[in-house]
Structure formats: C-alpha cells, structure tokens
C-alpha cells in the first residue's frame, strides 16, 4: 500500500503540472496490465491496474509529427517509428491545438517530467524527517549487550552451534577451524574472548577507558571505545565499568583481528578486538541532523544504483544456481513486501521499531525512485528531460548561427532505444521476482 501511494503521488506530480500548463491528460493510472477499477472525471480517466509495478499518466502529443524533409525511404526501423508516431498522434483531437505536449515550451516540459521524481524526493525527505525526529535512529551505547564466550575463526565448522566453545578445533594452518580430538597436534578448545577473560559481563556499562571518562552521548561514547580498542592490539587497556550501581576496574588486552574499516576499503585492516557487542537504542535526532543523514543515504543510494550491473551475475546465480543471496544486493517489489511482512511478524521487535522500519523502508524506496527516474534514458522521466534540454540547446545554437529554429526534438527516433531499455528492465524485474521467491533476502541475514 505504501508503494502504491508513492507511485500515485509520483504520477500526481506529472499530472498537476501538465494540467497547470494546459496539457490534456486523458488517463491517470496506477499499475500496469488489466484495469481493476476506473472512473472518468472531466476529460481524465482515473484507474487502478492489476500489476502494482509502476504507473503512468497519458499526456496527449508526447511524440511530435514527423519533421519536414524526413526521409520517406522505407526501412524496418522507419516503419516502426512511423507506426509509433501514428499511434501517438491518433490521440490528438482537433480541439487539442496548443494543448499537446510537444508544442509546449521546453521549460514547461522539463517541469512536468521532473515533478514526478521530485514528489518522490519530497516523500523521502518527509519520511526520513519523521523517522529521525519521531522515532530516532539506532545508536550504539556503551552498555555491553552480548559477550561471546570464545573466539572462533570464520572458517570454524562449529560457528552455528550453541556449544561451539566446548568443541575442540584445529587452531591454525590449512585445517584451521575443523573439529578435532583433544590431544592431537594443534587441537584445542577455542580461546576465551579478551573481554570474557577480563571479567566483562552483559549489562556492564563502560564509563571510562584508558583513564579517560567517556562522553555522555551514547554514540560518541561507543565511538571513543572503538577507537581505543582498535588501536591497542596486544596492549593492555584499563577499562572502568558500572555494574549494579558500582564502578569496577578491569584490564583487557585486545587481540588482533582483520576487519574492513569502511565500505570502500579494498582490503581488511588489522585492528584490536575484545569481543563485546553494544546495546543499541533509538535516539531521536534534531532537525539539523536530517540534511546530513539524507545526504549520506543519497550518496549510498547512488552507489547502489551504479553497482546494479555488476551485481546481476551474482543475482542470477542466487536465483538459478542456489548460491547464497547477497543481503546488500538488489531486491524487487516482492522481496520488499516479503521482508516487510517478516519484520512486522517478528516478535523480537517492538511496535515502535516496526513502524520505524516501515518509514525507513518507504523513505529509501522513494529516494531510489527519485534517482532511478532521473536517469537520462528514454522512456524514463530523465530521458524526456534530456530530450527537452537538447532541444533548447539545439535551438540556441541555431539562433546564434542565424538559422531557423529546428523545432521540437523528435523523440520518436528514440523508440527503439526505449523498447530495448524496457526489455532490460522487464528482464531485471523477472530475475528479481524469481530470486525473491526461490532465494529471498530475510531478516535472518
């Protein structure tokens, strides 16, 4: 329902400005395929279709008549373009003089096509604002939530077992992590984590580290803890914790661990590790924090869109060859709906956390819709915008050279590209549909 409302609001942006500039809009539809419901008001038919994967408004005259002097030589491509042009011009009535899309000034066409994605951006900003100020974002605290009893290598055969710390494994070499019998060479019980060995307990709150009191802000406090621990591999660190209302001094020696310190890191970095996980709380943010947060999500969303082509092979293998699904990879409408259902059915989350997830999901979807639709590829909104801007640039050059205005840009020539792009999108949608059904991303990932 949230996705359908987002689609409808997107189309409403196109519709409002098209009507505002006097264009005739005979259809406003949410979805594709067979019509489930429709009603005509004035000159526009409003309706809901069976496949909720998008929507459209039909503006009369999206494709202009053929340019004067256009070659009449019959080719398969020209015949195809002429057929598409004819179908579009059949909608134009004698009473539509001046109301067709192609006859409007270039800047009006840009506004009409930009308004749809802009509405998605507005929704994204609203939802992110509600999320940050009304619910907050998950912030790590200095309170210890989980405390693994032992250190297990990533290759350990016992990683998923609850009694993994009681099962001996090979400690090093090519066979590291395999189950073995005590007494054989290189075989031992997994060592305790530094935190467990130092006496940390779940519920402890770290109040000072390395002789320095921590900031009172939960996020800043945990960041300070991370910085000291990561920079102290092999060096004892004095830590003060609060336990049952009393402060207690502990000494822990971090061990070396390889981690990726950032998303863009090309290789893991050796840092200190003690084996504690922080408790997290929802911390409401001030209005001033919203722009920076949205900017960060914006950059990451652009990166994800640019990564889609290189992630398709892995998606194909996950859908048809049974490989593990990448939780950071692309996900379709079915996957989003399924994931949302799992979150709302999960008993381990409170109602406020589920509602916060809903707003976060809708905000992210609308931001992606904004970015995706502005790609300068026909038939996306960005393709129409690029065509109008090209037309303006072409007219400006002609005027400077003393030549007549070449007139509207003939977007019909891009129809073969549009069909190719549509084919790619349909193929990707089907691939996502299969992957979301046979190998879905779940909250367990």
CB neighbour list of residue 94: distance below 8 Å, 6 or more residues apart? none
Active site residue 68: no
* b/e 327-355 (16+ beta carbons within 10 angstroms → b): eebbbbbbbbebbbeebeeeeeeeeeeeb
Report how far residue 30's alpha carbon sits from residue 7's, in angstroms, rounded to the nearest whole number.
7
35 by DSSP, 3-state: which? strand
CA 244 to chain centre: 42
Q: Do 132 and 193 contact (CB within 8 A), yes or no?
A: no
Within 8 A by CB and 6+ apart from 152, the residues are 158, 159, 164, 165, 169, 177, 190
Query: What token pair was written down for 30?
Result: 């949410």
> What does the block give as tokens for 197?
């060995």
User: ∠ CA 380-381-383 to the nearest 5 degrees?
Assistant: 65
Residues 256, 68: Cα–Cα separation, whole Å: 74
Backbone dihedral region of 403: left (phi > 0), alpha (psi from -120 to 50 degrees) or beta?
beta
C-beta atoms surrounding 226 within 10 Å: 15
How far is it, in rounded angstroms, from Cα 150 to Cα 103? 72
Sign of CA dihedral 361, 366, 371, 377: positive
Q: Give the dihedral sign, CA 349/352/353/359.
A: positive
Catalytic residue among 11, 83, 162, 328: 11
How many Å apart are CA 334 and CA 435, to the nearest integer? 10
Render 320-352 in DSSP notation, one character per residue.
HS-PPP-TTS---HHHHHHHHHHHHH-TTS-HH
User: Alpha-carbon distance 338 to 116, whole Å?
Assistant: 27
Q: Kindly list the catalytic residues.
A: 11
């Amino acid at each position: 329902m949230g996705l359908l409302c987002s689609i409808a609001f997107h189309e409403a942006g196109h519709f409002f400005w098209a009507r505002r500039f006097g264009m005739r809009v005979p259809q406003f539809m949410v979805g594709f395929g067979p019509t489930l419901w429709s009603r005509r008001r004035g000159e526009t038919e409003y309706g809901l279709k069976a496949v909720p994967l998008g929507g459209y408004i039909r503006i009369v005259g999206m494709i202009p008549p053929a340019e004067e002097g256009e070659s009449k030589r019959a080719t398969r491509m020209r015949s195809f373009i002429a057929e598409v042009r004819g179908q579009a011009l059949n909608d134009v009535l004698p009473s539509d003089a001046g109301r067709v899309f192609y006859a409007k000034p270039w800047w009006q066409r840009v506004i009409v096509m930009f308004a749809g994605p802009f509405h998605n951006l507005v929704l994204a900003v609203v939802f992110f604002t509600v999320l940050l100020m009304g619910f907050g974002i998950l912030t790590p605290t200095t309170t210890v939530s989980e405390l693994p009893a032992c250190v297990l290598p990533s290759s350990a055969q016992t990683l998923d077992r609850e009694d993994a710390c009681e099962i001996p494994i090979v400690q090093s070499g090519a066979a590291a992590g395999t189950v073995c019998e005590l007494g054989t060479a290189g075989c031992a019980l997994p060592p305790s984590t530094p935190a467990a060995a130092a006496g940390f307990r779940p519920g402890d709150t770290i109040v000072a580290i390395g002789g320095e009191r921590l900031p009172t802000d939960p996020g800043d406090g945990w960041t300070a803890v991370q910085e000291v621990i990561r920079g102290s591999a092999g060096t004892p660190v004095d830590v003060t914790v609060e336990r049952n209302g009393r402060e207690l001094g502990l000494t822990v020696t971090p061990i070396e661990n390889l981690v990726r310190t950032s998303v863009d890191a090309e290789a893991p970095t050796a840092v200190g590790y003690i084996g504690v996980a922080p408790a997290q709380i929802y911390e409401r943010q001030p209005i001033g924090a919203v722009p920076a947060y949205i900017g960060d999500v914006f950059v990451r969303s652009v990166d994800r869109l640019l990564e889609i082509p290189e992630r398709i092979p892995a998606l194909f293998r996950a859908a048809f060859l049974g490989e593990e699904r990448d939780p950071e990879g692309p996900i379709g409408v079915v996957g989003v709906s399924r994931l949302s259902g799992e979150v709302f059915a999960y008993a381990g989350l409170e109602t406020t956390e589920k509602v916060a997830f809903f707003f976060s999901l809708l905000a992210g979807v609308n931001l992606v819709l904004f970015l995706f639709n502005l790609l300068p590829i026909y038939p996306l909104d960005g393709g129409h915008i690029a065509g109008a801007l090209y037309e303006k640039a072409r007219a400006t050059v002609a005027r400077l050279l003393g030549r007549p205005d070449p007139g509207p840009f003939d977007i019909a020539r891009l129809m073969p590209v549009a069909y190719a792009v549509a084919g790619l999108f349909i193929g990707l949608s089907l691939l996502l549909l299969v992957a979301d059904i046979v190998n879905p991303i779940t909250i367990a990932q």
